[in-house]
Structure formats: C-alpha cells, structure tokens
Structure 1
Amino acid sequence: MTTAVTAGGSRLGWALNDTIVLIGRSIKHITRNPEQIVVATLLPLVQLLVFRYLFGGAINTGEVGYASYVIAGLVVISVAFNVSHTALSVSNDLAEGIVERFRSMPVISTGVLTSHVVASMLRHVISIAVIVLVGLVIGFEPRAGLTGWLGALGLLLLFALAVSWLGVIFAVVTKSPEGATGLSLIIVFVPYASSAFVPPSTMPAILRGIVDNQPMTPLIDSVRGLLLAMPIGGSGWLAVAWWTGILLVSIPVSAVLFRRRPLQ
C-alpha cells in the first residue's frame, strides 16, 4: 500500500514538474516575442477608439455613456483575438517536430498543451488590463466595488480559459499554422453578433434571436453589469454555465485529439 501511494505521488510530482518546465518554455516565447501581445491588443484598442469617437455619439445606450457600455464587449473581443496566438503557438510546435521529440522522452504529453494554455492566460490578463486602462482614459466610468471587479474578472478568466482550450483544438485538428489561425477566427467574430456594441433591443427580430441565444451575450452583459453596478439577473449564471460546459468538453477533447494525432 505504501509503495503504491509513493509511486502514485512520484508520478504526480513527475507530471507536475514536467508541466512547470514546459510552462516556463512557453512564457519565454512570450517574453522573446512581445509583439504577440502588441498585436493581440492593437485591434481591440483601435476598435475602442473608433467606436468611442466615431460612432459613440450616434448610439443611444441610455443612462450609461457609450465608453462604459462598449468596454465589456471589447475586453471579450481582445480575449477572443488572443485565441489565434494560442492556436498558432501549438500548431508551430506540432509542425516543427518539437512535440515528436517530447513524445520520445519521458515527458507527460498533455503538459505541452497545458503550458500553451497557461502562457495564453498570461496574454489574456495583459490584454484585459490594457483595454481597461485605456478605457479609463477615454471615458469608461466603472461603478463596481471590489466584489463587482472580482466577479467580472472571474467570468473573463473562465471565458479565457475555455477559449484557450478551443484554440488548442483548432491547432490539433488542422494541418498547418495558417489553418489553425484561420479556424480560430471563428471565435474572434462571434462577439460581433452579440450585445458588445449596441443593445440587442435595437436589432431586427431574427438577429436578436441569435444574439440572445449565443454564449457571448450573457458573458458581456454580466461583465458590463458587474463593472457598472447594474442588475445582471440570470445572465451571470448563464454565462458560467455556457463557458464551464465548453471548458469541461474542450479539455478532454483536445487531449484525445492530441494523443491520436499521427507523428509528422
């Protein structure tokens, strides 16, 4: 019994150590290529400035200023845009043969995927911080207390984790970095058909039906409501249900697809 427990503990420690080393490797890639973060935040920042100063005056969002209304949607878009970098980094490892080298060594195979997801979460946090800080400069007026900020951040991190694993799936099922990047654009464009830029009540009935029943809308509505100290009703729990479900499906699916992927 003691031997079995010791062996199990050794295996767990070995797997954890491998994963930590691989995480360090992925984070070094970010520090050596800071343009990844610049590119990941540039598009949402440009959109923030365009919508704030070009379209904001023509869009009625009620008592909330447009800069405060749109910030939640653009933070979500910045996270979605980062998925392409996750997919690209995983796909590059698969294409360059480094994964085959890891498979020939006593290294936990799924640690490769986990390391990319952890590095992706670092990019997400930086990108969220940049968007919020610039938003504060151009008119975003948060009303949230500590609980509201923590709730909004928790939802965003859940979303970021779920879409990062989706990015891994995109990389594993495609045959090239270009294909992985292209497929990940699906996640980038979904928030545009949501409540990110305008209230759904202003949309045609058919489009509103789509907007009201896709996972980005309750997420954006919840983050917006928490940051502005507004009632969010059941949208918070709906957002948690959507993205927890996607996360719980995407992790095992990505692991199975990764193990079944033939060697290059």
Structure 2
Amino acid sequence: MSTLTLAMRDSATMTRRQLKRLLRYPSMTVQLIITPVILLLLFVYVLGGTLGNGLGNGSGGGRDAYINYIVPGILLMAAATAATGTAVMVATDMTEGIVARFRTMRISRASVLTGHVVGSVIQQLLGMAVVIAIALAIGFRPNATALEWLAAAGLLTLFIIAVTWLAVALGLRSPTPESASNAPMPLILLPFLGSGFVPTDSMPTAIRWFADYQPFTPIMETVRGLLLGTHIGNDAAIATAWCAGIAVLSYLWAKRTYNKA
C-alpha cells in the first residue's frame, strides 16, 4: 500500500473521529448554528424595516429587501463562528495528550489535522444549509440559476476551507482551549466591518476604506451577486484570491506549528 493511500486511509479515520465527536457532543454544533440564526432573525425582524429602506439601488426597501441583502453576511458569520469550535477542539487535543499518543502510532502525521479540517468543513456546510433553509422560510428570495447556486456553493466551500485551516493554526498556537475560543473572534466582526449588514458607501471614510479592502467584502459581494443578480465586477476574482491565499498560508502555518509541537 502506497504512502498516499495510507495517508488517505488515516485521514478518513480521523475524519470519522471528528464526526463521532460532533454527534456525541451536539451542544457545540447547535450553539454554532443558533448564533447566526438568532442574528438573522434579530436583524430582519427588529432592524430590517429601517435598514432595508436605506439600501437604495432599486431594492424596493423594507424588510423583504433587507433579508435578501443580509443573508451572504450571515453565511460568512456562520463559518467564522464555527471556526471558534474548530480552534477549541484542536487546542483540546493538543493539551490533553491525545496528539502525543497519536504520534506513537503508525499513522500519517498529517491525518490528525486533516481530520479536523474535513470534519469541520462538513459541519459548517450543514450549518450553512440550515441557515439558508431558515432564511428561505422567512422570506429570502434568490433568483439564481442552478449554475449560479453551484458557483456560490463552491466559493463558500473555499471560504470555509480557508477559515478552517486558519482556525486549526490558531488552535495549535493557543496554550489552552479557553484562549483558543477567543483567537478567532476578530473573524466574527469582519462581516460587520464590511458589506455584510449595510452597504459600505454608508460608512465614514476611514471605515469604508477598510470595509472595501478587507477579505470578507468581495466574498459577500460575489455570493450576493450570484444569488441575487447584483453587480459582481472583479469581486469574484478578488474573493477567490483571498480564499486561496488564506487557505495556503494558514495550512503552511498550521503544518509548521504542528511539526514543531
């Protein structure tokens, strides 16, 4: 059996371990899903009428327009929130000695991290599906074709992979699970400091500059354009570049940290 085959087999085993952990302790999964859902309901039903009237651009205004606008930001927030759980699980494995035990076994070293990543990606995709289902139930009305849905799903998956590898690296660098739970916190704030909840042209100049050039904004604008038919421009290329760059750099950071631990 080749080295690659063994690595794939070990990675599959570690992925099953992560999925069984998620099934055995569902409270974290529920918490990571319910947080963006609560924010979705809060913004739509409490603030949606007022914020929707300020969107302009022929959106029609009101709560119906705002729920269409806000869903891409909520989806990215869901992934950023789930990154917290990933970082905590990685830090827990590192501090409780399970990784040291794995290193005494004849398994691929890379499979431990790969299992965390694949398990988290599956968890986040299911979480996003729940968020989209609830959004559709309360009035989200995309007009995307099947191909546009597929493109949006592909970009979101690439984003999840990037955020997950970053969370793994942060978890490896954290001395305790408690500190790991705080490390991804800035990711949760980025949709607010971008075009996730209001257009960036409504922001003060300094904040608008940051909002326009931070990585979450082109991703949200691309997903919004694919699902709702708004203008995308070069946001798709920028979003893909951001996701790929974050994924590669985070993977290299995580690999180096794990090998030195």
Q: TM-score, normalised by structure 1?
A: 0.93
Match for 1:27: what amino acid? L
Q: Which residue of 1 aligns with 2:27?
A: 35
The answer for the alignment partner of 1:143 in structure 2 is 143
The match for 1:26 is 18
* 1:52-131 equivalences in 2 (<5 Å): 52-59=44-51, 60-62=54-56, 63-64=58-59, 65-131=65-131
> CA–CA distance in 2 between the matches of 1:12 and 1:44?
38
Letter in 2 for 1:141: R
Q: Measure the CA separation in 2 of the matches of 1:130 and 1:12.
A: 35
Q: Say whether residues 1:208 and 2:211 are aligned partners.
A: no
Q: Are 2:83 and 2:167, in contact at CA under 8 Å, matched by a contact in 1?
A: yes
Deviation of residue 260 (structure 1)? 0.2
AA paired with 2:120? S
Does the CA contact (< 8 Å) of 1:91 and 1:172 recur in 2? yes
Distance across 2 between alignment mates of 1:164 and 1:71: 21
Q: Distance in 2 between matches of 1:180 and 1:159?
A: 20
What's the counterpart of residue 3 of structure 1? none
Counterpart CA distance in 2 for 1:186 and 1:119 is 23
Instruction: Please tell me the root mean square deviation across aligned C-alpha atoms, in Å.
Output: 1.0
User: What residue is the counterpart of 2:5 in the other structure?
Assistant: 13
Q: Percent identity?
A: 36
Structure 1 residue 13, shift from structure 2 partner? 1.6
| 1:51 alignment counterpart | 43
Larger radius of gyration: 1
Unaligned runs of 5+ in 1: 1-8
CA distance in 1, matches of 2:136, 2:14: 36
Cα distance in 1 for residues equivalent to 2:24 and 2:116: 15
**Deviation beyond 3 Å, 4+ runs, structure 1:** none
The DSSP-based 3-state class of the residue aligned with 1:212 is helix
Unaligned runs of 5+ in 2: 60-64
The answer as to whether partners of 1:148 and 1:229 remain within 8 angstroms in 2 is no
Amino acid across the alignment from 1:54: V
Which residue is 1:243 aligned to? 243
Aligned-partner Cα distance in 2 for 1:138–1:85: 27
Q: Could you tell me whether the CA contact under 8 Å between 1:194 and 1:216 is conserved in 2?
A: yes
- Paired residues of 1:26 and 1:119 also in contact (CA < 8 A): yes
